[in-house]
Structure 1
């Protein structure tokens, strides 16, 4: 997506820009939100709320960062606010299966093994405390740099590195790796 400043745009231009943002980042924001709440229906609701916030904030977007970075910041803050909320602390969330995709060139055996390994890894990542799950997800699943994660989460680069290292160690322990 081209980097732009939304200040001074007409309502129709903002609507077009917003549609493009939803098209470009909708699925990614849903996945990010799911990584926080581990519940598909709740992730969908939070994603909708995030895009409502985005739409209302779009006229104030100045273009000092990329649209993606700006949107991710909104999403991360919204998810953290939800996790701190009374509703989250009083409602028990359950794990759900994450849909699997099998490419046509894989053999059945490889697909089954990979699917099982992926399920185990996803389950292990989702069982991490949020402060470790967040940098692992952003680094390995969204392929963000340490610097980008630090900027998005508001924590120092070294703290991000430490959390990724500790989360990796926790994952190795829970998955039985050495």
Structure 2
């Protein structure tokens, strides 16, 4: 299989069109403010323009973009100015508005809450794993590579997130 580097504007536009929306949704699911998500989104695609990485195929580009985005989110939260989190306004957040727009996953729950509203209350690491697993369809091993964690850590985060979600949806609170 021949490796390739970004060759032209058409290739970049195609990648932007195909992967831009999933990447933006991922960033919105991880960040507190839409403006921060937009800034990091631009930084990720700027990094794609500047990289000398030789990509094997489009899946390699997708994986690379999500890994860079994950690293930039971690860097963002390490900055002292962003250590104070503000609660997500689920109605204002584009990712939760998008995911809550369908009734899928909302049946049988409190009418005022959808699954993604509960997910927004999870710790960031668990929220990241849930999003990558159930929205983007990555395996635990792929999530581990993206988040630079061990696969067992990812599986534990997924398990704890599912338990916390079950408790919250049953009305028992999160109990973190």
The alignment's TM-score, normalised by the length of structure 1, stands at 0.78
Q: Within 2, Cα distance between the matches of 1:91 and 1:155? A: 23
Structure 2: which 5+ runs fail to align? none
Q: Structure 1 residue 128: deviation in Å?
A: 0.8
Structure 1: which 5+ runs fail to align? 103-109
Which is greater in Rg? 1
The answer as to whether partners of 1:40 and 1:96 remain within 8 angstroms in 2 is no
Structure-1 residue corresponding to 2:122: 128
Structure-1 residue corresponding to 2:54: 62
Structure-2 residue corresponding to 1:18: 12
Q: Structure 1 residue 91: deviation in Å?
A: 6.5
Structure-1 residue corresponding to 2:150: 156
Structure-2 residue corresponding to 1:34: 28
Could you list the runs of 4 or more consecutive aligned residues of structure 1 that deviate by over 6 angstroms after TM superposition?
A: 115-118
Structure-1 residue corresponding to 2:69: 75
Q: Which moved more, 1:119-128 or 1:148-157?
A: 119-128
Structure-2 residue corresponding to 1:171: 165
Structure-1 residue corresponding to 2:4: 5
Q: Please, what is the CA RMSD of the aligned residues?
A: 2.9
Q: Structure 1 residue 94: deviation in Å?
A: 4.1
Query: What is the number of equivalent residue pairs in this alignment?
Result: 162
The alignment's TM-score, normalised by the length of structure 2, stands at 0.78
